[in-house]
Each structure stands twice: as C-alpha cells, then as structure tokens.
Amino acid sequence: MARVRLVGVEKVYPNGHVAARGLDLDITDGEFMVLVGPSGCGKSTALRMIAGLETPTAGQVFIGERDVTAVPPQDRDIAMVFQSYALYPHMTVRENLAFGLRMRGAAAPAIAERVRAVAQALGLDAVLERKPSQLSGGQRQRVALGRAMVRDPQVFLFDEPLSNLDAKLRVETRAELARLHRRLQATIVYVTHDQEEALTLGGRVTVMRDGLIEQVGPPMEVYRRPASIFVGGFVGSPAMNFFPSGRLLPYPRSSAAADPGPVTLGVRPHDLAIVPAGTGDADARVDVVEPRGSELLVHLRLEGDSDDAEVRVVASPETDVPVDAVVGLRCDRQRLHWFDTRSGKRITPPASASAPDTRRA
Ligand SMILES: Nc1ncnc2c1ncn2[C@@H]1O[C@H](COP(=O)(O)OP(=O)(O)OP(=O)(O)O)[C@@H](O)[C@H]1O
Ligand SMILES: [Mg+2]
C-alpha cells in the first residue's frame, strides 16, 4: 500500500475549462479518503489524474515516494472501479475475477488461490460459477470490486461505485466497503457527490468546490467545524440554516478585536429548538411539517422577515406545531457557526465577548 500526494496539481482541459486549481492533498498510507462535492467540481478529474487517465497541466502526482506524473496508468500499480463497471457477460464470476491475472500471465495455481481469497472476502463463493446476468446488482458490484482486488494494487480508486445501486443495497455495500478497508488496510481514494456517503465512509473527507479544495478533515470535524459557508451548507442533512448578522443573534463583537464586517450565522436544523412564542431568540411561523419517522422536519418563516427566508428545524415527533402557528426558536449557543459573509470563511468570535447563554440565565 502507499501514500498518494498531489502537489500544486492543476488541470485545464483543451477547451479552456479549469477543472483543478492547484490541488494540494496528502493521503496517507492505508487511509480511506473521500473526495466529495457537487457535480462538476472536479472530483473525477482529480481521481483520473491519480490514475494517469488525465495529465495535469501543472503540478505533480506521487504514489509512494515515486513521482508518477508522467507514468502511464498501467505502470502506476493502481486499480480503479468506475460507476459504470462492465463485467464480461459470457464469463462466469470465477473467470471474470481471474481474467486480469491471466492476462498478466500469472500461474494457474496462484490465480486459483487469489480468486478464492477475494471471493471469500467479498462473500462471492456461492456464485462463482454463475454468469453476471444471474447476479443481483449488489453481487455484480462486488464482482467489479473483486476484479480490482485480485491484483492487490498499491491504491484503489473508486468513482461513485455505488450510484447504480438502489438505496438499500447502497447502504449494505457501503458497510461492506468499510469492512473491506479495515481488513485490507488499503489506501483508497473514493469519489462521491453524496455527503452522507462521504461522512459514513471516509477516514478523512476532502470537500471540493469549483476545482478547489475547501476543507480536508475527519468527517466529524468537517461536520462540527465547517471551514466555510459552502462546506456548512453542503455537509449535513437537512442543510444548515444561514442568517445575516443580527437576524437571529448578534455577533459577539468586542472592543479589543477588529470589526469583522458583515457576518453570517449558521445553525443546523438539529441545533434549533421550538419553544413558546416570545421566549426564544426569534419568533417564526410554521409553514410545512414533514414527519420523518423518528423526527419532524419543520419548515418555518421568521416573523417580520421581508425576504421570506425559510428556516428548518428538526424536532421530536411529539412537538406540537400546527401549520400557521407562531412559535419561538432558540439556538444552541454551543453550536453556532460564524462566517465572514464576504470571504465565506469561518471566523471565531472573540472569546471574552461570547454571547450570554439564555438557556442558563
Ligand atoms: N474532457 C473534458 N473537456 C472539457 N471539460 C471537461 C472534460 N471533462 C470534464 N470537464 C469539465 O470539468 C469539470 C469537472 O469535471 P469532473 O468530471 O471532474 O466533475 P465531477 O466533480 O466528477 O462531477 P460529477 O459529480 O458530475 O461526476 C466539469 O465542469 C466538466 O464539465
Ligand atoms: Mg465525476
């Protein structure tokens, strides 16, 4: 297994589109790194540059200590699994798994042993003699994974490998991937646009936007301390609420600290409580209530708000929130996210001037 590094990697496509703007990323040996971001942000481009399927216009790619920037894909010792994997339909699962090794001229007993080990790891023993058409979607997906695994490469690259599966199978295969990683201790770079998949799978998560890296960190750190308005809004479901300065709470300014200028407050729907009108940080009118089984997702509009901005709150299913009722909203002072509105970057309010906690008052 190996470390993977991107150093100042840039990609300008021939049509002039800039898909990577100086990416710096250090993926440690054995790490499960997820690249996540909205469609078109450059995730696949970054992965394809690690694979050698695209050449960076500037910067370097390292696998282990080796500079592979100019090394062709077949000499990089990587295995890539795409969203649209293709199995050989006329071959059995066993033959599909063995194919890559056979093409490399491996000896028959070695191939048989390797196929046996991988089939066992992926729970495919029982279907080895079947053709792909006789498999479920999840089993086919595992065969595609298995074909990458038999080669025992330095690095696995996955580009949205679960997006063809239905929701239930996706969750199951996700858990399988996590177990597999634990067992193999392999270096994995995994691309998804699904923030939930990123949080559940990633040892660390790299959030990308428009060819740039916005934040790199363990899932809970990215969730708890988003580095920007973009990350705060992208990671977490339902999405974070944003308020202009003073709309819900004032920014805790201090005479000692420089004035930050316009600020934006971010509060997650789980960190807002519904309280009696007049007793919270603001009053709001209930707009839509969505039961979600174990909880309610309540959509509200702040009272006296001209811009009609929606606020989302997650509440317990017992909460009494008739549509059109006016209720109070109180936010958890321990879980406020402040951002510089102009740069979008996270800011930390001066400690001495932290806002009084009304819950304890
Ligand atoms: N061969 C190409 N020529 C020109 N532009 C390209 C090419 N390939 C990708 N792009 C553009 O580069 C940007 C990044 O593409 P990329 O495929 O890396 O995005 P992505 O994050 O993987 O998106 P998705 O989640 O939709 O797969 C997009 O705007 C895309 O249109
Ligand atoms: Mg992509």
| pLDDT on residue 360 | 43
Q: How far is CA 110 from CA 77, 107, 123, in A?
A: 19, 5, 20
Burial class (CB in 10 A: 0-12, 13-18, 19+), 322: exposed
| pLDDT on residue 223 | 97
pTM reported for the whole predicted model: 0.90
My answer on whether 266 and 229 are in the same domain is no
Cα of 42 from ligand 2 centre, angstroms: 7
Ligand 1, residue 45: give the atom nearest the CA: 18
Backbone φ and ψ of 33, nearest 5°: -105, 125
Q: Extract the tokens encoding 37.
A: 């971001």
Backbone φ and ψ of 208, nearest 5°: -110, 150
My answer on whether 117 and 223 are in the same domain is yes
Residues whose CB falls within 8 Å of the CB of residue 42, separated by 6 or more in sequence, listed in order: 11, 19, 20, 208, 210, 211
Atom 1, ligand 1: which residue's CA is nearest?
Answer: 13
My answer on whether 265 and 217 are in the same domain is no
Atom 29, ligand 1: which residue's CA is nearest?
Answer: 40
Ligand 1, residue 47: give the atom nearest the CA: 18
pLDDT along the chain (361 residues), means of 10: 95 97 97 97 97 97 96 91 81 94 91 92 91 88 86 89 80 81 88 94 96 98 97 96 89 80 96 96 95 95 78 95 96 96 93 50 37
Ligand in closest contact with the CA of 209? 1
Query: Distance between CA atoms of 145 and 139, rounded to whole angstroms?
Result: 10
- Full domain range(s) for residue 21: 4-233
| pLDDT on residue 253 | 80
My answer on whether 223 and 77 are in the same domain is yes
My answer on whether 105 and 86 are in the same domain is yes
- For residue 43, give the nearest of 135, 134, 148, 160 by alpha carbon: 160
Atom 24, ligand 1: which residue's CA is nearest?
Answer: 39
My answer on whether 154 and 17 are in the same domain is yes
Q: Is residue 310 part of a domain?
A: yes
Beta strands in the chain (DSSP E): 4-12, 18-27, 32-36, 58-63, 66-67, 78-81, 155-159, 187-192, 204-209, 212-217, 241-244, 263-267, 272-275, 282-291, 296-302, 310-315, 326-331, 337-340, 346-347
CA 163, chain centre distance (Å) = 14
Residue from 44, 48, 160 to probe ligand 1 pocket by mutation (most atoms less than 8 Å from CB): 44
Query: Distance between CA atoms of 311 and 160, rounded to whole angstroms?
Result: 31
Q: Is residue 193 part of a domain?
A: yes
Cα of 40 from ligand 2 centre, angstroms: 7
Total of domains in the chain: 2
My answer on whether 255 and 199 are in the same domain is no
Ligand 1 site residues, Cβ closer than 6 angstroms: 13, 15, 17, 19, 37, 39-45, 193
My answer on whether 14 and 158 are in the same domain is yes
My answer on whether 340 and 267 are in the same domain is yes
| pLDDT on residue 361 | 37
Residue from 10, 13, 34 to probe ligand 1 pocket by mutation (most atoms less than 8 Å from CB): 13
Contact 40, 199 (CB under 8 A): no
| pLDDT on residue 238 | 95
